Amino acid sequence: MDLESTVFESKLLLEARAYLKLAVPYTITQLSEAIITFVDTVMIGLLGSEALAAAALGVVNFFTLLFLSKGVLETVSVFAAEAFGAEKPEQVKRITSQGIWLGFAIAVPMMLIVWHLDVVLLLIGQDESLVLLAKPYLQAVVWSFPAAMGFVVLEEVGAAIGRPQWMTGIVVAGGVLNGVADYLLLFGKFGLPALGLAGIGWATTLGYWFCFIAAAGLFLFHPNFRKYNFFPSLNQFDKALLVEILKTGWPLGLQYGIEMGMFSVTALLMGYFGSALLAAHEITITTLELSITVPLGFSYATAIRVGQLIGQKDFRGVKRSGFVSVSLGIMASLLISLVFWLFPDQIAALYLDINNPSNIEEIDAAISLIRIAGIFQLVFGIQMITMGALVGLKDTLIPTLITVVCYWAVGLGGGYLIGFTLEQEGVGLWWGLTLGMTLAAVMLVWRFFRLISAAIDEHEAQELQLKDKRLVA
């Protein structure tokens, strides 16, 4: 029994090491991307409050569309990881090339939407002066879409073949380039034109094209990537594979949209309780956006690790990986949550002057919401990581339906009940969101372990049948 326990613990440690080799670079990548957006916002703020308001229309809508599109392509990593685990480099090439074509196909309609987004914004009643300011940004950043889609695919495949650190390095370098270009094009330094808000858009475009070209260069020239050079496969159209990637990917894109929609509706509801609570909500959301980069990175790593083990037909390894990833995710999320619980005053002070008496109401409200967000952060981490494990199993539709019900019916419905009916206001809305996220986490954890246990039983039954046939023969 002691020997069995030792072997089990040894396997857990080995799995934890393999998992962290993926999770750490992925988390750094997510954090870097969040910092890039933060730097863009700070730079825009230098142009004044009107430019910042216009950017809110342009930047938020652009990145919402980009995030939805990325969700559809996320399962490319799972297909590639499975092929890598099964030691099928030709299949990895084929998956990469089809992912590139799918990414470009998604980019075309999205570019049309972004190009004409100013018309849509005017139709829904947005301030015309702000829309006119946002338009040059939109018509500059729109050209980043093909590169962004292409890089997402190469980033996912790079991680799937066990080389995520290279993609992390490219993202960090792209972020530095983006920041420098922000400054140069915003104010027109070194003889360059001062493009204002459009300069931020062109800087983003430059950053994404750098990342895409650099990643493509790795697959062409680097010895660790050359084995998976996808360029010769670009002229091969595999309809069945493309449809399969799209079939498993679109529910993820939908889920991301549902998640964003939940927060958007919450912000609208928060507005009914006054500007102080709305400001507190914005502080909480902005802080949360930075902190969730950790579970997001863990989630992507989990999907790839599960895919690799599925390719190796190691179903018990998949179950072990699920246990390790959720356990490590809980520990990481708990540490972040402790910061939310222990230092809400200091977090609020990053956004507002706590010594200014006119900010007292906003700061008090923010402290309350940040503490609840600490619990939300913990269950969100569990939910996201388990979702990653299910993505690794290519199980996306049912989990998406689960999140729809939990986010909207339980989260928003419960939040409305507690906030409005029970008159708990903003605190009630956040408790509703936390309740919905908790239910989603519990249901997804249950689904993953039920599915993988069934897969283990089926695989071992098949192995036993084959063994019996060999004995009879």
CA atoms within 13 A on the CB side of 147: 19
Neighbour tally for 411: CB within 10 Å:
28
Nearest-angstrom CA–CA distance, 195 and 200: 8
Q: What are phi and psi of 94, to 5 degrees?
A: -65, -40
Q: Is 391 exposed, middle or buried (0-12, 13-18, 19+ CB in 10 A)?
A: buried
Torsion of CA 56, 59, 62, 66, to 10 degrees: -120
Nearest-angstrom CA–CA distance, 181 and 211: 14
| pLDDT value of position 6 | 63
Neighbour tally for 119: CB within 10 Å:
10
Question: Which amino acid is present at 3?
Answer: L
pLDDT tens-place values along the chain, 473 residues long: 455 556 556 777 887 888 888 788 888 888 887 777 777 766 776 776 567 667 666 777 787 788 888 888 888 888 888 888 888 888 888 888 899 999 999 999 999 998 988 888 788 776 777 778 888 888 998 999 999 999 999 988 888 887 878 888 998 898 889 888 888 887 778 777 777 788 888 998 999 999 999 999 988 888 888 887 777 777 888 888 888 888 888 888 888 878 777 877 777 787 777 777 777 777 787 788 788 888 888 888 888 888 888 888 888 888 888 888 888 888 888 998 999 999 888 888 877 777 777 778 878 888 899 999 999 999 999 999 999 889 888 888 899 899 989 988 999 899 989 988 888 888 899 999 999 999 999 999 999 889 888 888 887 777 677 766 666 65
Asked if 266 contacts 284 with a C-beta cutoff of 8 angstroms, the reply is: no
Q: Write out the DSSP string of 114-172.
A: HHTHHHHHHHTT--HHHHHHHHHHHHHHGGGHHHHHHHHHHHHHHHHTT-HHHHHHHHH
3 state DSSP class of 350? coil
Residues 6+ away with beta carbon under 8 Å from 367? 344, 345, 348
Please name which of 274, 469, 277, 239 lies closest in space to residue 368, comparing C-alpha atoms. Answer: 277
Domain boundaries, the chain: 19-237, 251-473
| pLDDT value of position 112 | 94
Write down the pTM of the prediction: 0.80
